[in-house]
Amino acid sequence: MAPTYRVVLCDLRTDQVLDVLPITDVALDDYIGKIGSATATVPLPNRTVAARARAAVEPGRTALWIERGSEIWWGGVLWTANLTSSTRGFLGLQVQAGGWASYLDHRAILHTQQAVRVDQYDIVRGLLDYAASLPGGDIGIEYDAEQLSGTLRDRTFRRYDVPRVRELIDQLASVENGFEWRIASYRDPSSGRRVKQLQLGAPVIRTGASEVVLDHPGPILSYGWPVDATVQANAWQARGASGNRNQTKESLPLMSELLVDEGQLAAGWPRLDGTSDYSTVVEQATLDAHARADLAAALHPQTMPEITVALDRTPLSPALLGATVRVRIRDDWWTEGLDRRYRVVGLAISPPLRGRSETARLQLEAA
**3-state SS assignment for residue 14:** coil
**3-state SS assignment for residue 54:** helix
Q: How far apart (Å, rounded) are the C-alpha atoms in residues 104 and 310? A: 34
pLDDT tens for residues 188-235?
A: 999 999 999 999 999 999 998 778 999 999 999 999 999 888 999 999
| Model confidence band, residue 366 (pLDDT cutoffs 50, 70, 90) | confident
Residue 88: predicted pLDDT: 87
| Model confidence band, residue 9 (pLDDT cutoffs 50, 70, 90) | very high
Q: Which of 345, 343, 231 is nearest to 296 (CA)?
A: 231
What mean pLDDT do residues 72-91 have? Answer: 95
The Cα-based distances of 345 to 91, 182, 311, 318 in angstroms read: 36, 11, 18, 10
What mean pLDDT do residues 52-57 have? Answer: 97
Residue 111: predicted pLDDT: 97
Task: Note the CATH number of domain 212-227+303-366.
Answer: 2.30.300.10
pLDDT tens for residues 164-189?
A: 999 999 999 999 999 999 999 999 99
Q: Is the pLDDT of residue 1 over 70?
A: no
Q: Is the pLDDT of residue 367 over 90?
A: no
Residue 210: predicted pLDDT: 78
Q: Is the pLDDT of residue 103 over 70?
A: yes
**Strands 259-260 and 253-255: what pairing?**
unpaired
Q: What angle do CA 238, 242, 247 make, to 5 degrees?
A: 155
Bigger pLDDT: 227 vs 12? 12
- Classify domain 5-103 at the CATH class level: mainly beta
pTM of the model: 0.89
Q: Is the pLDDT of residue 248 over 70?
A: no
Whether residue 217 is preceded by a cis peptide bond, meaning omega within 30 degrees of 0, is: yes
CATH architecture group of domain 107-200: 3-Layer(bab) Sandwich (3.55)
Tally of CB atoms within 10 A around 101:
22
Q: How far apart (Å, rounded) are the C-alpha atoms in residues 125 and 265? A: 42
Residue 353: predicted pLDDT: 77
pLDDT tens for residues 143-161?
A: 999 999 999 999 999 999 9
Residue 89: predicted pLDDT: 86
Contacts (Cβ under 8 Å, ≥6 apart) of 350? 27, 356, 358, 359, 360, 361
Q: Which of 322, 348, 339 is nearest to 33 (CA)?
A: 322
Contacts (Cβ under 8 Å, ≥6 apart) of 170? none
Q: Which of 17, 54, 41, 28 is nearest to 90 (CA)?
A: 41
Percent of the chain with pLDDT over 90: 84
Residue 243: predicted pLDDT: 67
Residue 227: predicted pLDDT: 85
The chain-wide mean pLDDT, for the chain, equals 93
Residue 351: predicted pLDDT: 87
Q: Is the pLDDT of residue 245 over 60?
A: no
**3-state SS assignment for residue 56:** helix
Q: Provide the CA 190 distance to its chain's centre, in angstroms.
A: 27
pLDDT tens for residues 301-329?
A: 878 899 999 998 888 889 899 999 999 99
